[in-house]
Structure 1
Amino acid sequence: MLRRARADDVEQLVALTQAAYRGEGGWTTEAHLVGGARTDGDEVRAMLEDPSISLIVAEEGATLHGCCYTHREPADEHGIVRAELGLFAVAPSAQGRGLGGRLLEAQAAALRADGVDVLMIRVLQSRPELHAWYLRRGFVPVGRSVPFPGNPAELKVAGLGMDVMERELHPARD
Structure 2
Amino acid sequence: MSAPQIRAADAADVPRILEIVEAAYRGPGGWTTEEGLVSGARTDESEVRALIAAPAVALLVAEADGRVIGCCYTERAGTRAEFGLFAVDPAAQAGGIGRALLEAQVALLREAGVLELEIHVLQGRDELNAWYQRRGFVPTGATHPFPLDPSALADPEARFDVLVRDLSH
TM range (shorter): over 0.9
The one-letter amino acid paired with 1:17 is V
Structural mapping, 1:37-76, within 5 Å: 37-74=41-78
Could you report, residue by residue, the CA deviation over 1:123-150 in whole angstroms, capped at 9, with x for unpaired residues?
0100000000001000000110010112
Identity across the alignment (%): 53
Matched residue pairs, number? 165
Q: TM-score scaled to structure 2, two decimals? A: 0.95
Alpha-carbon distance, 1:62 to partner: 2.9
| Distance in 1 between residues matched to 2:43 and 2:67, nearest whole Å | 19
Alpha-carbon distance, 1:158 to partner: 1.7
Name the structure 2 match of 1:129: 127
Which of the residues 87, 90, 109 maps onto 2:88? 90
| Distance in 1 between residues matched to 2:104 and 2:12, nearest whole Å | 22
| Distance in 2 between residues matched to 1:71 and 1:115, nearest whole Å | 13
SS at match of 1:45: helix
Which of the residues 140, 143, 151 maps onto 1:142? 140
Could you report, residue by residue, the CA deviation over 1:17-36 in whole angstroms, capped at 9, with x for unpaired residues?
00000001100000110010
The one-letter amino acid paired with 2:158 is L
Pick which of 112-121 and 61-70 moved more: 61-70
Name the structure 2 match of 1:78: none
| Distance in 1 between residues matched to 2:64 and 2:148, nearest whole Å | 31
Name the structure 2 match of 1:162: 160
Q: TM-score scaled to structure 1, two decimals? A: 0.93
Name the structure 2 match of 1:13: 17
Could you report, residue by residue, the CA deviation over 1:29-60 in whole angstroms, capped at 9, with x for unpaired residues?
00110010000000000101100000000011
Structure 1: 4+ residue segments shifted above 4 A: none
| Distance in 2 between residues matched to 1:85 and 1:163, nearest whole Å | 13
The one-letter amino acid paired with 1:121 is I
Alpha-carbon distance, 1:61 to partner: 2.7
| Distance in 2 between residues matched to 1:71 and 1:155, nearest whole Å | 25
Gaps of at least 5 residues in structure 1 are 75-80
